[in-house]
Amino acid sequence: MDTSIVVPINATTSFAPSSETSRAHGFDPLTHAELLAARLAAEREAEQLRKRLRELAAELTAVQEEARAYLAQELHDSVGAELTAARFALANAENRLPAGTDPQCAAAIAVAQQSLDAASDASRRIVEHLHARPLEAGIVSALSQWTEGFAARTRLKTSFICAADVRLTQLPYGAALAIFRVAQEALSNVAKHAGASCAGVHIETDRRHLTLIVEDDGRGIGRRARKDTSGFGLAGMRARCDAHGGKLHIVSRKPRGKQQAVQASGTIVRARFAWQSMLAADAPCRSVSLS
């Protein structure tokens, strides 16, 4: 007996099992409404995770600022005071040296005085680095002052260019501090590691984001160093960007070989911050006032 099935040429066939057939064989296909509900639930969960990540990043930056303020105050009040007392004591001892004292003794006191002066200068620089400059006047003024001081200290040719955007004057303290700290850390890395002759700081804005750009003409940075999360500096920069809905991106223009030695080299740090997150930010903490 012929049991074949004849299908007309113009007929359409579907090989997808029906819901009844699928359930009969142990399958439970989701309806379109169920798939949509599952997708919406997954998106809500993803947004909650992103929100929690921003909260954790904000908590990290708040702790960092508290630690900075504490260290700056301790250095200023204890170490700075002790160094000042030692300098005065040494000066009094030098003034009381009797006539005809061994010249080597006077020379030793002079060397000690120079060492104390150097230690005092180093302590002041550390306190200045830890202590945020007054941001009440705005991020533009703070960064302008910082880059000017950075150029004077390091002898690096440093420029600062900023977009004309009224939103820069509306930033809450916490958001302005995040931008300032990223710029500060990036410039400090240029001075310590880049071997550069010049550096530039730029602030660019668009409808959704503020982008801080710090670039130099130094030796560049390796891929491993850019990806390293064990260090305090880069991790803190990333956390500050994450806390304000942004991202940190580092590009090295390190030349490869003698033929490319004349081409541009150096590092570009791009720190992006979301306006929506920044304008709604609260201040994590206020900087300590050091007299």
In a domain, 26, yes or no: no
CA atoms within 13 A on the CB side of 84: 9
Do 170 and 254 lie in a common domain? yes
Q: Where are the alpha helices (DSSP H) in the chain?
A: 19-24, 32-74, 80-95, 103-130, 139-154, 173-189, 223-227, 232-243, 275-279
Q: Which two tokens stand for residue 5?
A: 């099935």
The pLDDT of residue 25 is: 52
CATH number at residue 198: 3.30.565.10
Listed residues 83, 107, 131: the one ending a domain: 131
Domain membership flag for residue 273: yes
HSE-CB at 110 with a 13 A cutoff on CA atoms is 5
243 is a domain residue: yes
Boundary-marking domain end, from 131, 157, 177 = 131
Q: Which residue from 194, 273, 269 is spatially nearest to 234, judged by alpha carbons?
A: 269
Q: Which domain holds residue 226?
A: 136-285
Stated pTM of the model: 0.60
State mean pLDDT over 129-152: 81
Q: Is residue 291 part of a domain?
A: no
pLDDT at residue 194, rounded to an integer = 86
Between residues 82 and 281, the one the model is more confident about: 82
215 and 90, same structural domain?
no
179 and 116 housed in the same domain: no
In 3D, which of 180, 182, 194 has the Cα closest to residue 265?
194
Task: Kindly tell me the sign of the dihedral angle through the C-alpha atoms of 236, 121, 134, 67.
Answer: positive
% pLDDT > 90, the chain: 24
For the chain, how far is it from start to end, CA to CA, in angstroms?
Answer: 106
If one counts the domains in the chain, the total is: 2
Residue 4, in any domain of the structure: no
Other C-beta atoms closer than 10 Å to the C-beta of 222 total 11
Q: Judge whether 24 lies within some domain.
A: no
Q: Which of 12-21, 63-72, 137-146, 250-259 has the highest mean pLDDT?
A: 137-146
In a domain, 20, yes or no: no
Instruction: Clarify whether residues 159 and 239 are in a common domain.
Output: yes
- Cβ neighbors of 71 (< 8 A, separation 6 or more) are 130
Q: Do 159 and 36 share a structural domain?
A: no
Do residues 110 and 141 both lie within one domain?
no
Q: What is the pLDDT of residues 86-134, one digit of tens each?
A: 777 777 777 877 877 778 887 888 888 888 777 877 777 666 666 655 6
Both 182 and 261 in one domain: the answer is yes
